[in-house]
Amino acid sequence: MARRSAPPGSGPSYLSPQYGISNRGSADVDPDESALSRFMREQIFAPEYLQGNQTILVSLAMFVGGVAALRQWGEGLALGL
């Protein structure tokens, strides 16, 4: 069976259709918004990225908590050997 190619002008398949589309012309975006607040709104608090960002936050908290626990009680753990 012959392989079909994508339609002309469809772009690479690994990019989503919204890739590169900006909200700059949107009415709900403040034109005086700073780059940091725009990044926070579009990448951190956006609903499509929220679950992944929460997973990263929980993983980072578990790592920091583990390091803190080992620094606090590590000597006692080593003496138990």
Residue-wise pLDDT tens digits, 46-59: 999 999 999 999 99
Q: What are 12-67's pLDDT values in tens digits?
A: 666 565 555 555 545 567 888 899 999 999 999 999 999 999 999 999 999 999 99
Alpha carbon distance 62, 55 (integer Å): 11
Residue 1 has pLDDT above 60, yes or no: no
Report which of 1, 5, 3, 38 is spatially closest to residue 22, judged by C-alpha positions: 38
Which two structure tokens, joined as six digits, stand for 76?
């006692």
